[in-house]
Amino acid sequence: MLTLSMKFILFSGTLVITRAVSITGFPKSLVFLGHENIGPIPMPVVVLVFMAIVFWIFHSYTAPGRIISAIGVNITTASYFGISVKKVEIYTSLISAVCAALAEIVMLGRATSGQQRTGYGMELDAVGAVLIGGRSLQGGVVTVRGVMFSVLILGLINNGLNVLGVDPLWRDAVRGAVISFAILIDQWERKQ
């Protein structure tokens, strides 16, 4: 709930600061992550692959990565093992915030202009990707590979709707339906 209200406060804040006017004319050093290519490969793909590799190593081979997974698997056991759950949660939020900031820089580069509504509603994609690629919203093991595949699936759905010429106004409804379906399957599996 606090997260949701914070979102509104910050969104309103950006509107106030920018007076709801989009900003253009960013330096090249800022937009190159979303705008440039390395050979035939667009920069956003490079960023995605790089981050995936970093997090795969973090998740599978480092002690902090393992401790974060442990809390996801069973928070009670983790605290019995002398892990300070609160501290880890704060660090995890920090990592998540840094990733969101990076994503925002990439988006900025793609549009080469600062729009206040960029990324609005994308939190559903983020949560959906974890849900489809992993196990559950209530915690569990999520693999980087799984999340990468589900990001790909969600991207394909978005793109497919474009190619099929589906009315863009329907797009959010389809996305929501796909993610709701994943939640329903998760709940059903839990009951088994």
Partner 1 sequence: MDKVVLEVKKLSKHFGGLKAVDGIDFKLYEKEIIAIVGDNGAGKSTLIKTISGVYKKTGGQIYINGKEVDITSTIDSRRNGIETVYQSDGALDCFDAPANLFLGREKLLDNFLGRVFGIMDTRYMKKETEALLKKVGVEVKNISADVSDLSGGQRQSIIVGRAVYWGGHILIFDEPTNNLGATQQRNVISLIKRIRDEYGVSIIVISHNIAHVFELVDRIVVLKNGKKVGERLKKDTNPTEIVSMITGVHEHVVNFTSKKF
Toward partner 1, which CB reaches closer, 172 or 189? 189
Distance between CA 76 and CA 85 in Å, rounded? 9
Instruction: Write down how long the chain is.
Output: 192
Toward partner 1, which CB reaches closer, 14 or 79? 79
User: Least separation, in Å, of the C-beta of 78 and partner 1?
Assistant: 8
User: Least separation, in Å, of the C-beta of 147 and partner 1?
Assistant: 17
User: Least separation, in Å, of the C-beta of 87 and partner 1?
Assistant: 12
- Name the site residues for partner 1 (rule: CB under 8 A): 57, 61-67, 69-70, 73-74, 76-84, 140-141
Residue 134: both structure tokens together: 């992993």
Residue 79: both structure tokens together: 């605290």
User: Least separation, in Å, of the C-beta of 96 and partner 1?
Assistant: 18
Whether 175 and 128 have beta carbons less than 8 Å apart is answered as yes
Within 10 Å of residue 67's Cβ, how many Cβ atoms?
Answer: 19
Toward partner 1, which CB reaches closer, 26 or 56? 56
Torsions phi, psi of 140, nearest 5? Answer: 145, -175
Task: Residue 161: name the closest of 176, 147, 146, 148 by CA.
Answer: 176
Toward partner 1, which CB reaches closer, 18 or 62? 62
